[in-house]
Structure 1
Amino acid sequence: MVKVEFLGPINKEALNVDISNLNELSSLLKEDQEVCKWLENCAVAVNDTLVATKDVALSDGDRVSLLPPVCGG
């Protein structure tokens, strides 16, 4: 299982899902109205390393974090 964390204002409990890559995760999350609106703007980290492509393979025990844009001042 892969743990998916939703950080910041996404405000959703972490999920444990059986997926093998980020493309599968993207398809799964597009079905969730609450999360779908964030997908285009979020950075994605796999095991605390930012990734720029959805072709990243995932293994059992990996952690994916969705990082929404942050504003500060």
Structure 2
Amino acid sequence: MVAPPPLHQLTYSWTDLRGDPPARWLVDWQLRPQGRGTRILLHISGFDLTDRRQKMARNALERGWNNTVLPRLADVVAEP
């Protein structure tokens, strides 16, 4: 039996049905080899920046990722 290839991408989405039209967001993680390590790419899309509430949500999400999630991810990856 041959092992499946390693996974290099995870993409997920969700929809907020309260909007008119409903808002759909997409989060995409990619792992790419770089030198002797791995680069993690994170892309979040789907925000309508002309909509004040969506722009505020996007800005809050960005602060959370930059100030909490990504630093913690670096700590977890560095653990033996």
- What TM-score comes out, normalization by structure 1 length? 0.30
Q: Greater relative contact order (Cα 8 A, min sep 6): structure 1 or 2?
A: 1
- What TM-score comes out, normalization by structure 2 length? 0.29
